[in-house]
Structure 1
Amino acid sequence: MKRSILALQLATLLCMLAVSTVFSQHTRIKNVVLVHGAFLDGSGWEGVFHQLVAKGYNVTITQHTLRSLEEDTAAVNRVLDQQDGPVILVGHSYGGVIITASGNHPKVAGLVYIAAHAPDANEHRADLVKTYPSAYTSLIKGKDGFDYLDPAHFPADFAADLPREKALFMAHAQMPTADKCFQGIVQQPAWRVKPSWYMVAEADRIIHPGLERFYAKRAQSKKVVEIKGGSHAIYASRPKEVAALIEDAAKGAL
């Protein structure tokens, strides 16, 4: 008799766990698209990728050219077209500008900004930087209109909370970025019509942390997470925290 009761209880527990798993899968958005920022490609998202894939998310990392906002937005839109359902769109740094434009895609359900710009309509980021000046001094402007960060200063300015060996590798694997990217204007900011989440890097030298807080407050982000000691490279240095915020968005954007 006792064995029968225990067997019934075990069967009930297993059934409840199965139902719980199915329920959780249907109460979150499973598709995540990660958009990199200026100077680097999408490889910095590797840690976040592994965190999310291990929990059953379908993750796509974009590789755009950094030649202009229009070209980068078109590249991200092509990736969004390929998704099989609603998407959480995540942007780091200049990638925030891209998702602010591409976020209007009908498949995008929510936006996650990781130490990223979130401009308003027809807003010049240079005007905001006057109020919230950046701390870095490593920008080198190329004569051909493509810019990069001085590798000697890259670790301190961009990735101070990464192991120095990794920061140096990133410094020497830069993608020169066109001035046109920084001059691009968004016409219809997606954060005005879709929910957003924001992560502030408290020790950011590329985008002033005060500007990041301003963006988050203006967008009325549903959740704002501040990373103490976080450099501009938090998307690479703090993958667990970044993935956790993306998961919050995946569950909260339905």
Structure 2
Amino acid sequence: MTLPFLALLCVGLCAGHELRRDESLPRPSIQALPSWVLPANSHVTLRCSTPTREINSRDIKFILTKNNASKISSPDSPEGLAEFHLTNLKSSDAGEYTCEYRTESPTRRSLLSDVLLLLVTGELLKPSLHTHHRGEVTAGENVTLQCQQPRHVIDPSTFALLKKGTSTPIMVQGPVGVETDFSLPSVTRRDTGNYSCVYFQPRTPFWTSQPSDELRISVTGKVLTISEMAGWLCYLPVDFLPPEYIGGRFHPSRTLGLGKVMWGEEVRARISWRNGQELLLTERESE
């Protein structure tokens, strides 16, 4: 829904003149929970806060501003924090939000927070997301994901790369043409996941596309030769090393559980470190 006015404000207007901003006050911060890119009819909380240790927070009142125009105020915020709840989001809720706060006794006005862009998806047709990599990707490789607008859309847009399970976009690029490349350099297993992308207008009304179909990226580990493994283990903290390597000793047969192996032989192995962490080695490399 469109933001309701909790109070009609003329922020900082006192006796016919505007209250100047006090640069000595800590700048507030603003964040969107769970994300700043959300589908229509979902809910979001815009949270404004300021470091309470640096000011007397008992008389703080926060003001949320959208697109430098419409404003709403919070009740008194004794904890130096205020939350503004937007429900049943519509495309009209998209925009650039900032917050500030005022104190009483004496009356002071803070600087504006950084700008938070809120996007509501679904107004534009969905883009496509492609990669040249098929199937599994080896750790350490560079992966490029290309997001492309529908063919009939020719206006330059800004693009955002999304990852399922991650609250904020992985990357934002633009405004660019009708397509853009997102680069994931030296991927690790943490980059495994389902990706999608959206494009949006970089100015009012900030219309945003539906998300693209999801693209699965699966990152596997590395396979090292026994000699490479021995050299690599030398750089690990002792808490990460398997018991067989404590004291500088490396026994491939016992450490890797492979039976009899030769130096220089390529292996596939799963190693469990003393702290319970696990490294999976699966990529073949030539010596």
Same topology, TM > 0.5 = no
Q: TM-score range by the shorter chain?
A: under 0.3
Higher relative contact order (CA 8 A, sep 6+): 1
Higher helix share: 1
Task: Tell me the TM-score normalised to structure 2 length.
Answer: 0.22
> TM-score normalised to the size of structure 1?
0.24
Which has the higher Rg, Structure 1 or Structure 2?
2
